[in-house]
Amino acid sequence: MEKKQESKEKLFTKKELNKLAISSAFLQSSFNYERMQGTGWIWTIAPGLKKIYKDDKEGLKKSMKTHITFFNCHPFLNSLVSGIVLALEENKTDLNTVQSIKVALMGPLGGIGDSILWLTALPLIAGISAQLALQTNSIIGAITFLVLFNIIHLSLRFGLIHYGYNLGINAVGKIKNSVQIVNRAASIVGLMVVGSLVPQFVHANLGINITLGEMNVNLQETLLDPIMPGLLPLILTYFLYKIYKKGANPLMIILLIMLIGLIGSLTGILVA
Amino acid sequence: MDTSIIQIMLIGLVTGLAGLDILVGLTHFHRPVVLGPIIGLILGDVQIGIIVGAMVELSLIGAAPLAGAQPPNVIIAGMSAVFFAISITNLEPEAAVALSLPFAALMQAFVTLMYNLFSVFTAKADKAVEETNFNKITILNLTTLFIVFISYFILSALIASMGEQAQIFVNIIPTWILNGLTIAGGMMPAMGLAILLSIMFKKEYAPFLIIGFVLSAFFGVSIIALTLIAISIAMYDMLINKKIDKNKGGISNGKKAGI
């Protein structure tokens, strides 16, 4: 059996990766309810994609289409995804695989980030620093906060992009040798994550109350939720998927959703 | 105490930058424990800035942007609490914090408005991708960041110039519109996920999509547990397929041998 040469030149230098780590801090530019961090995500890896695709316009376009989609991750840990994705892109991994791996990573990283960073590290450091500020009556509190918090923040942001990139480079040989197997595995994990994101991120609740005998009951709580929680989000997502596939204009749909929200609120049919 | 034009502008500038920091950069100087002393410095009383900033920090300690949901706005809370504590004589720090909360809620509503508005902008991003034009994406992102900056700038400058009078703005957007935008914001990710599905989905993977949905909707399984289950299923699937391939290979080899 011939062994694949893995000691191939890496496209990105350490310095370039550090620059990409800085741009990874711009993940939440244009944050919006539709794609969440999607528009920011493509921006954070743009310099990398440019370098990888150079003059290959068609390839770049296909890749950009992969990266302008829904993305939501913890805004520090996204640099790990950047590193892995750039390594895979650099080695011209099948874009479906890249997309699935990206989605499979963003979900759990978002969850880990929420629980460890947003709900543990931040309140802990903020609490200690605020107490310190009140006790000493000086800016030591503020300085302590900035220093402690950013040691964690920056070491994750810079550390993870290198780690992710090397991880991706090392794994890419295996991935390429078994494209179908990896693609299938990544698709399974990716789609399970997407399935779980539907009830987690999409919210639609009926506000309609009906009178049953002497009781005034809410249709959502007494009828829909017992049948299936997240039923409306599921129907909505499926419906939008169908009409998008048929060529409906996303912009029109977004404006329509806003209109439905406003009418639903005014009439009380929908509640937040 | 009268606030000078320069002070108002400086407050607008710092608060605007803090508004950017909560989205991009994320050094977290926008947290009240840091922003408090800075606003205090601009208004000439760092001491009160430190104390009130720390108090706002402690009262909003759990407020972090989880999964895109907006907590009361920590920046406007910190900025306005410090401003009130310094500009209104004999105002207790606790009262200043309480006074700041309606403004934090107002900014929260404004942020909801912006995230709806920016959803409309994604169509422009799609167009930029069609043209493989990264510059357009840069311009788009800088535009939205500018809108964020200017929103924080204006609200904080209004509070700094009008004081408590600025409360007239709190009811500027009718509740039904605000609720409507919140409802719309809740439904909006369905579109993003629909586009994602149009790329990723194949019929053969439908069962996994359903399993993911059921685990989350019915059982509220955490995303980490869900991923581990997903990896287990993927591993099992891989092993079974390998076995099937092997058996196939065995049979065909047998046939060959038979011939």
Confidence of residue B1 (pLDDT cuts 50, 70, 90): low
- Interface check for B196 against chain A (CB to CB < 8 A): the answer is yes
Task: Find residue A222's DSSP bridge partners.
Answer: none
Q: What is the pLDDT of residue B255?
A: 46
Entry field: residues in chain A: 272
Q: What is the pLDDT of residue A47?
A: 95
| End-to-end Cα, chain A, rounded Å | 61
Which residue among B145, B179, B191 sits closest to A34, beta carbon to beta carbon? B191
Is A184 in contact with B37 (Cβ distance < 8 A)?
Answer: no
Q: What is the pLDDT of residue B72?
A: 83
Best to test chain B binding among A29, A205, A245 (most B CBs inside 10 Å): A29
Q: CB of B223 within 8 A of CB of A122?
A: no
- Interface check for A52 against chain B (CB to CB < 8 A): the answer is no
pLDDT in tens, A55-106: 999 999 999 999 999 999 999 999 999 999 999 999 999 999 999 999 999 9
Quickly tell me which residue has 């920011």 as its tokens: A40
CA-based nearest residue to A256, from B127, B69, B68, B190: B190
Confidence of residue A4 (pLDDT cuts 50, 70, 90): very low
Neighbours of A213 (CB within 10 A): 6
Give the global pTM. Answer: 0.90
Q: What is the pLDDT of residue A8?
A: 61
Confidence of residue B254 (pLDDT cuts 50, 70, 90): very low
Instruction: Reduce the secondary structure of B167-213 to three states and give it as a string.
Output: HHHCCCCCHHHHHHHHHHHHHCHHHHHHHHHHHHCCHHHHHHHHHHH
Is B212 in contact with A194 (Cβ distance < 8 A)?
Answer: yes
Say how far apart CA B175 and CA B106 lie, in whole Å.
11
Confidence of residue B32 (pLDDT cuts 50, 70, 90): very high
Neighbours of A85 (CB within 10 A): 27
Which segments of B90-183 are extended strands (E)? none
Q: Is the ipTM of this complex over 0.85?
A: yes
Nearest residue on chain A to B144, alpha-carbon basis: A30
Is A127 in contact with B61 (Cβ distance < 8 A)?
Answer: yes
| End-to-end Cα, chain B, rounded Å | 102
Q: How far is A32 from chain B (nearest CA, A)?
A: 4
pLDDT in tens, B55-104: 999 988 877 766 555 678 999 999 999 999 999 888 888 899 888 988 99
Q: CB of B20 within 8 A of CB of B149?
A: yes
Nearest residue on chain B to A228, alpha-carbon basis: B218
What DSSP string describes A5-68?
P--PPPSS-HHHHHHHHHHGGGTTTT-BTTTBTHHHHHHHTHHHHHHHHTT-HHHHHHHHHHHT
Which residue among B123, B214, B230 sits closest to A251, beta carbon to beta carbon? B123
Region B182-191 average pLDDT: 94
Q: At residue B257, does pLDDT exceed 50?
A: no
Q: How many alpha carbons fall within 13 Å on the CB side of residue B89?
A: 2
- Interface check for B139 against chain A (CB to CB < 8 A): the answer is no
Counting one residue from A and one from B, how many pairs have CB atoms under 8 Å apart?
A: 387
Say how far apart CA A125 and CA B10 lie, in whole Å.
28
- Interface check for B24 against chain A (CB to CB < 8 A): the answer is yes
Backbone angle region of B88, left / alpha / beta, with phi > 0 → left and psi within -120 to 50 → alpha:
beta
Which residue among B187, B231, B238 sits closest to A236, beta carbon to beta carbon? B187
Q: At residue B259, does pLDDT exceed 60?
A: no
Q: What is the pLDDT of residue A179?
A: 82
Is A126 in contact with B195 (Cβ distance < 8 A)?
Answer: no
Q: At residue A193, does pLDDT exceed 90?
A: yes
